[in-house]
Every structure is written in structure tokens, then in C-alpha cells.
Chains A and B, each alone.
Chain A
Amino acid sequence: MRNSLATSTAIHALILGWGLFSLSGPQTLDAGVVETLPVDIVPISEMTQIQQGERTAPLAESASPEPTEERAPEPDAQNIGNNTVDLDTPPTPDARPEAVEEAAAPAAAEEPQPVPTPEPEPEPEPVEAAEPEPAPEPEPEPVEPAPSEMAALPEPQAIEEPAEANEPLPESETPEAVAPSEPENAVPENVPTPMARPEPPRPEPEPEPEPERPEPEPQQPTQAAEASSAKESEFDADEIAALLNQEQASGGGQRQSEDQAALGGRTTTGGESLSQSEIDALRAQIQRCWSIIPGMADGADVRVRVSMRLSPDGSIDGQPSVSASGGSQAAQNALSGGALRAVLRCAPYQLPAEKYATWSDVVVNFDPSQMF
């Protein structure tokens, strides 16, 4: 027994000694320094609610459109922008200058047309016939190399005619008319050969009647010419353009913006919703007009849903759509009719105008279960 006791003691001492020196406690859990993550509960309205700002600007704490240039304060302006007038449409980049030049060039080309127009008054037939001719002529002529030079001549003439030809006409009747007609005559001479159409004869009559016209006109030589020129200038596309409103249709507003540009939408949307009291107010307005036939069989199970579109003044826009569920068909019909009448009878609803976006479409759920 003594031996075994010694053995046991020795084994215990051995194990304890090993435990004391080599089993130096469990490794401490490596918790590490973890910074607490701040968790915010973000309501969905923050995603749907877009503040007016600049779409390309970097994100900032509060959205803001580009700062506007300083200008005389316009207290009534509603839309932010650099425009001189307050327009609802968003600003667009300036029209390309090329487009403007292109617009001016055709205007000049049209000049010959107004010139003949006074001429046709006396004799519409020849003039009208003459007008289209010069225009088509250049087109076919270029195809033929030889007449191309000839064709080039009439064009400048036609352009110059309105300014020069008309004035000289009264002064020198035939000679001048002949003088200009010489090239024209030359043209027809050449033209008939390539073209089968009787174009040459038509230009010829032109000079003949023209002198006749001027003949009476010479009595009012310069004035009539000036008047005609004045009329021409009135129709001048340049002047028309000048008379046009130069304001850009899409110019932005005039309201001032001082903050740095920051990311945001074009307009402030979804930022508002009807408050509970406003919803209650709408409910009260509808309930006032809602009457129920008392004692209707199984009317308590019916649910009526009326969706209507409201115009900004609170009146109903279009026909409200009604849908009913539950209960018997008769009760559904009766109650949906009553709900529709109630909605229509109270029609101009008093709602905050500035939140029109939120109540432009209203869905009213009628629950008659509490009414019986």
C-alpha cells in the first residue's frame, strides 16, 4: 500500500507540475479592437425624396443647383436659372451657330421669289411660268458641261434683279430690258438644243411684258420702286428673324441659387406627403357626403375602392373608377354607387395646393362595416 501511495503521489505531482508550468492557462480570446459600426435606420422616403440639385455635380450634404449669376432680385421667380425671364422649361445649351447660318442662307436664296411676286400681279401667268424655270434650269444644266456657264449666269441675274433690275427698268424701258435679256436670250438659244421643252420662248416673253409693266409705272418711278423695295424688306427673312422673340424657349428660370452645386434631381420630388391631419381632413370631407342605406343585408362585408384623379383646384378630373369586393352583388352595387356619389358630391376638395403632386391621384377605401 505504501508503494502504491507513493506511486500515486508521484503521478499526481508529475501531472500537477506539468499543468502548472506548461499548461499556463488557455490562450486569451483575440477579441481585437473592433470599432462599433454606427447603424442608421434609413427610411425609404430618403430614396424617393429627391432634392433639386445638379445632376452632374458631386454629392454633397444638401442638393443644390448651380449657383446663378447675380442679377436684380426677382422675388416672384419660381424656377432656378440664369435666364432673364422666369421660364418653367429647363435650360438647354445654346443652339449651334451653324444652324443659324444655314437658316439665313436659304432666306437670301428666296429673295428672287418675292421679286417676281409683285410682277405677277399684273400678269401672273408669264411670271409664274418664268419663276419656276430659272430654278429647274440650273439643276439640269450642270449635267451638261457646256451650258453650265450659261446656267451660272442667269442665277446671279435672278438674284440681282430684285435690287438692280427693277430700278433701272423704269428709267430705260427697252434698252435695259434688252441688255439684260441678251444673256437670257443667249441662254435660251443654247437651251433649246439640249432641252426639248419650250423654255427659250418663255424667257423671251418675260422681257417683253416687263417693259410694258414699267411703262405705266414710270409715272411713279422711284416711289413705287421704293415701296416695292420696302415691301420686300418687310418680308426680308433677316428682319423677320429680328422681329422674332429672341428669348430662348428653354432658358431656365430666374430664381437665385447661392449654394455650391451639388448632386440632385431637376425638381424636388416626393419630399412631401400628406400629413395625417390632412388625410383625416380629406376623409372627413368625403365622409360628410357619404350616406348609407341603413339595414342593408350583408353590407358590412363590402369594401369599396374609389380611385380618382384630382385637378389642382381640388375638383375631380375625369370619372372616378369604382371597384367593390365582398358581400352580395346587390350590396356591392348599392354601396359602390353610394361611394361614387359621395366622392362626386363633395367634389372640390380642400387640400394643400403645394402638395398637389401627392394628392393628384387619390384612392379612397370605403369600409361600411362601422356604419351599420
Chain B
Amino acid sequence: MEQVGLAATSDVTLWSLFMEAGFVVKLVMIGLLAASVWTWAIIVDKTMAFGRARRRLDNFEEVFWSGQSLEELYRTLSEQKTTGMASIFVAAMREWKKSFERGARTPMGLQARIEKAMDVTLARESESLEARLGSLATIGSSAPFIGLFGTVIGIMTSFQAIAGSQSTNLAVVAPGIAEALLATAMGLLAAIPAVIAYNKLTGDVGKLTGRMEGFADEFSAILSRQIDEKLQPRAAAE
């Protein structure tokens, strides 16, 4: 009976392979399919997000170094939702403004506060860039093992079926093994893009955060010079 059932699956299509598989193997395959979908969703999302972020960085740097007044720039940017360098700039300017509105006493304290605010913003920005890249890494490393698990389970069950069928004919053995190997194939299918994309995207994240850090350092240097220029006369007057 088992033999007849196995021999009947001579038409080895993806769908028949999936339907012939056992419960555990089906579960594994569905999970791997979901992982693949999720991987590609992240890849698409991140690729587009990084492209957008890179464009905004370029735009902001252009605007920032165009000689425009920082006050004006702050006024326009603080009214809208900002990301990347713009948010770092806005955070620093906000801290600067607050400090001067209440009358800063020491330049050192002001400098430290501004840098803290910029660091926090930078950390937040890079965190949003890196979001979900961890799941890519997880899928890339674990999907092959999950697929292998499905294969092992599938081969086990197919061997049990062969033992029951009392026949070692390759036509009887082949469908079960093919079906089991489908799980490994799906695991690899999910893992390979995930690993490649993870490496690529982490590299992109590093580049973007590096640019933002560089901007933060430059801007903090500019603000520090401004602080010195504004506080020095007051200190001299006193």
C-alpha cells in the first residue's frame, strides 16, 4: 500500500512534493517560506531606506555648506520631521538655543551638553538604520539548519515508509528523498540572500553612520568656536 502510494508520485512537481511531505516537514517549509518572504521584505525596505537616507545626507550637506544662516536652517528644519544629519543638527541647535535662552554660564558645560545631545541623536539614527538587520543575520545563519532538520525528518519518515513497502526500488525511494531535500533547498534559498544582504547592509550602515559622525564632529567644532566667540567678550566684560 505504501509502495503504491509512493510509486504513484512519479510526477514530481513542487506542489506535489510539498503535499506529500509530512506534518513537521510542511511546518518547516512554511516557516522557511515565511523567513524568505521576511528576508526579502527587509532587503527591499533597507535598500530603499538607505537610498533615501543617502540622498537626504547629500541634500543636507549641500544646504549646510551653502553658506545659509544656521538660524534660518534650524527654523525650517525644526518645523518638519527630520532624519540623519538634519536631526543631529536640529538636536544640537535646540540644545544651543535652550542654553543661550536661559543664559549659559560656562562654555565647557554647554559644549558637553551639545555633544551629548548629538551623540544621542546619532545613536538613535544609526539604530533605526540597523533595525531588522539582526533578523537577517539570524535567518542567514539558522535557515540552513532548519531546512536540514526538515530533510532529516522527511528522510526518516520516507525510510520508514520504504521499510514498510518491502521494496528497495529506486522509484519507491526517490520521491520521499526528493521531498525531504526540498526542505534543505528552501532553507538555502532563504539563507543565501539573507547572508549576502546582511553583509551588504551592515556595510552601508557603517558608511552612513560614519558620515553622520563626521558631520557631528564638524558641527560640534563649529559650535565650539561659536561658543568661544560668544562667551569670550562677556567674560572679558566681566
Q: In the complex, are the beta carbons of B41 and A7 less than 8 A apart?
A: yes
Q: In the complex, are the beta carbons of A8 and B11 less than 8 A apart?
A: no
- On whether A8 and B48 interact (CB within 8 A), knowing A19-B14, A25-B12, the answer reads no
Please measure, in the bound complex, the distance between the C-alpha atom of A78 and the C-alpha atom of B14, giving whole angstroms.
80
Q: Per a CB cutoff under 8 Å, which of A11, A23, A28 touches B14?
A: A23
Asked if B192 is at the interface (CB within 8 A of a chain A CB), the reply is no
Q: Chain A's nearest CB lies how many Å from the CB of B140? A: 16
Q: Per a CB cutoff under 8 Å, which of A3, A4, A7, A28 touches B10?
A: A28
Please measure, in the bound complex, the distance between the C-alpha atom of A9 and the C-alpha atom of B132, giving whole angstroms.
17
Asked if A246 is at the interface (CB within 8 A of a chain B CB), the reply is no
Q: Which of B12, B14, B16, B33 is the most central at the interface, judged by chain A CB atoms within 10 Å of its CB?
A: B14
Q: In the complex, are the beta carbons of A8 and B10 less than 8 A apart?
A: no
Asked if A41 is at the interface (CB within 8 A of a chain B CB), the reply is no
Q: Per a CB cutoff under 8 Å, which of B37, B43, B48 touches A12?
A: B37
Q: Which residues of B contact A8 (CB under 8 A)?
A: 37-41, 43-44
Asked if B42 is at the interface (CB within 8 A of a chain A CB), the reply is yes
Asked if B15 is at the interface (CB within 8 A of a chain A CB), the reply is yes
Residue of B nearest to A5 (CB): B41
Contact with B along A333-355 (1 / 0, CB 8 A): 00000000000000000000000
Q: Which residues of A contact B42 (CB under 8 A)?
A: 4
Q: In the complex, are the beta carbons of B12 and A11 less than 8 A apart?
A: no
Q: In the complex, are the beta carbons of B44 and A9 less than 8 A apart?
A: no
Q: Which residues of A contact B14 (CB under 8 A)?
A: 16, 19-20, 23, 25
Q: Chain B's nearest CB lies how many Å from the CB of A332? A: 64
Asked if A1 is at the interface (CB within 8 A of a chain B CB), the reply is yes
Contact with B along A11-26 (1 / 0, CB 8 A): 1100010011001111
Q: In the complex, are the beta carbons of B44 and A24 less than 8 A apart?
A: no
- On whether A23 and B13 interact (CB within 8 A), knowing A4-B45, A4-B48, A7-B44, the answer reads yes
Q: Which residues of A contact B45 (CB under 8 A)?
A: 1, 3-5
> How many residues belonging to A are interface residues under a CB distance threshold of 8 Å?
18
Please measure, in the bound complex, the distance between the C-alpha atom of A6 and the C-alpha atom of B44, giving whole angstroms.
10
- On whether A1 and B41 interact (CB within 8 A), knowing A12-B33, A12-B36, the answer reads yes
Q: In the complex, are the beta carbons of A11 and B11 less than 8 A apart?
A: no
Residue of A nearest to B18 (CB): A20
Sorting the interface of chain B by its residue count into under 10, 10 to 19, 20 to 34 or 35 or more gives: 20 to 34
Please measure, in the bound complex, the distance between the C-alpha atom of A3 and the C-alpha atom of B43, giving whole angstroms.
12
Residue of B nearest to A24 (CB): B13
Q: In the complex, are the beta carbons of B13 and A20 less than 8 A apart?
A: yes
Residue of A nearest to B10 (CB): A28
Please measure, in the bound complex, the distance between the C-alpha atom of A3 and the C-alpha atom of B14, giving whole angstroms.
28
Please measure, in the bound complex, the distance between the C-alpha atom of A23 and the C-alpha atom of B43, giving whole angstroms.
26
Please measure, in the bound complex, the distance between the C-alpha atom of A26 and the C-alpha atom of B11, giving whole angstroms.
9
Please measure, in the bound complex, the distance between the C-alpha atom of A20 and the C-alpha atom of B44, giving whole angstroms.
24
Q: Chain B's nearest CB lies how many Å from the CB of A209? A: 117
Q: Which residues of A contact B48 (CB under 8 A)?
A: 4
Please measure, in the bound complex, the distance between the C-alpha atom of A23 and the C-alpha atom of B33, giving whole angstroms.
18
Please measure, in the bound complex, the distance between the C-alpha atom of A4 and the C-alpha atom of B52, giving whole angstroms.
14
Q: Chain A's nearest CB lies how many Å from the CB of B95? A: 31
Please measure, in the bound complex, the distance between the C-alpha atom of A97 and the C-alpha atom of B223, giving whole angstroms.
143
Q: Chain A's nearest CB lies how many Å from the CB of B58? A: 22
Q: Which of B37, B42, B132 is the most central at the interface, judged by chain A CB atoms within 10 Å of its CB?
A: B37
Q: Which residues of B contact A12 (CB under 8 A)?
A: 33, 36-37, 40
From 174 to 232 in chain B, residues with beta carbon under 8 angstroms from any chain A beta carbon are: none
Residue of B nearest to A11 (CB): B40
Q: In the complex, are the beta carbons of B37 and A24 less than 8 A apart?
A: no
Please measure, in the bound complex, the distance between the C-alpha atom of A24 and the C-alpha atom of B48, giving whole angstroms.
35
- 16 extra interface residue pairs, beta carbon distance < 8 Å, beyond A12-B37, A16-B33, A20-B14: A1-B45, A1-B132, A3-B45, A4-B44, A6-B41, A8-B37, A8-B43, A11-B40, A19-B14, A20-B15, A23-B13, A24-B13, A25-B11, A25-B12, A26-B12, A28-B10
- State the 4 A-B residue pairs at the shortest beta-carbon distance, nearest first: A4-B45, A8-B40, A8-B41, A5-B41
Chain B interface residues (CB < 8 Å from chain A) = 10-16, 33, 36-45, 48, 132
**What are 27 A-B pairs with beta-carbon distances under 8 A?**
A1-B41, A1-B45, A3-B45, A4-B41, A4-B42, A5-B37, A6-B41, A7-B40, A7-B44, A8-B38, A8-B44, A9-B37, A12-B37, A16-B14, A16-B33, A19-B14, A20-B14, A20-B15, A23-B13, A23-B14, A24-B13, A25-B11, A25-B12, A25-B13, A25-B14, A25-B16, A26-B12
